[in-house]
Amino acid sequence: MAKTGPSRPRPLTLRSLTALARAYDKRVRQPRNLRVRTLGAMAKARPSRPRPLTLRFLTGLAHAH
């Protein structure tokens, strides 16, 4: 008679590590569209209405220090 599966279940840690490795492998192999992701991030980072140039300049100086 042929066995259909392992006689005893694998430990939980081994199962979770295998699942993590498979998920990571799947994510690494997926082609990434960096341009779309970057544009989406830029759109979120911008304020809804543009600030005056002087205010942006002063805010930039304050953040630089």
pLDDT score, position 26: 72
pLDDT score, position 22: 82
Looking at residue 43, its amino acid is A
- Block mean pLDDT (10 aa), the chain, length 65: 60 73 73 60 61 64 63
37: helix, strand or coil: helix
State the pTM of this model: 0.26
pLDDT score, position 13: 72
pLDDT score, position 55: 63
